[in-house]
Amino acid sequence: MTTSSEPRSARTGRLRMSPESRREQLLDLGTRLLSTRTLEEISIEVLAEEAGISRGLLYHYFGNKQEFHLAVVRRAVEDLVAITAPRDIDDPIEQLAVSIGAYLDYVVENYTGYVSLVRAAAGGNEELRAIYDQGRKALTDRIFEVTGPEGLEALGLSDSPTIRLLVNGWAAMLEVVIIDWVDDPRGIAREDLLERLARALPAIVLS
């Protein structure tokens, strides 16, 4: 086992962080690596090199590669849920468009990792898919749980199995349209796209 020669501050624990904080900090770094790398490309070896700490310590924190990947994806999903949280905006469509915009910006900034994560979750990996599905559910549940101007009533919607089915479909549409748009944004300006995607929710549900 080799130890990196730099930066030493991370190894010597100058900040005397708790193991939990240290693990969180390492997860932050792992998640940031997703911006330019696929999930498969973020190994414990890569994280060890970037963090300047030993692989042995990382295996201590994360167990194995699969556990490490699940922890990174869980963190990425938490980040997505956090950055898309409803703001204090009166108009419900504008409110929704702002949240979709935060989602879109995340995809732009973390494109390589995001696409690899969506593919891994949509593919055969059951545990990854479970985390991903929970994330989508957290994002769509918010539409049903939040009251006030950004809530369901403001959009003219009510809660039912059919509406939940359609809202989940709308979320799937968002994911595909956002990836397509980031691949080729020439057809429509960002703000116009966000408004259309926001308006699509009541349009689908009330049509």
Contact positions vs a copy of itself (CB under 8 A) = 118-120, 122-125, 160-162, 164-166, 168-170, 172-177, 180-181, 184, 186-188, 192-193, 196, 199-200, 202-204, 206-207
Beta carbon nearer to a copy of itself, 62 or 132: 132
Helices H / strands E in the chain, number of each? 10, 0
Beta carbons within 10 angstroms of residue 162's beta carbon? 10
Q: Which is nearer to a copy of itself, 51 or 76 (CB)?
A: 76
Looking at the Cβ atoms of 10 and 193, the one nearer to a copy of itself is 193
Q: In sequence order, what are the residues at sequence separation of 6 or more whose Cβ sits closer than 8 angstroms to the Cβ of residue 74? A: 131
C-alpha radius of gyration, the chain, whole number: 20
User: What is the nearest approach in angstroms of a copy of itself to the Cβ of residue 129?
Assistant: 8
Q: Are 200 and 128 in contact (CB under 8 A)?
A: no
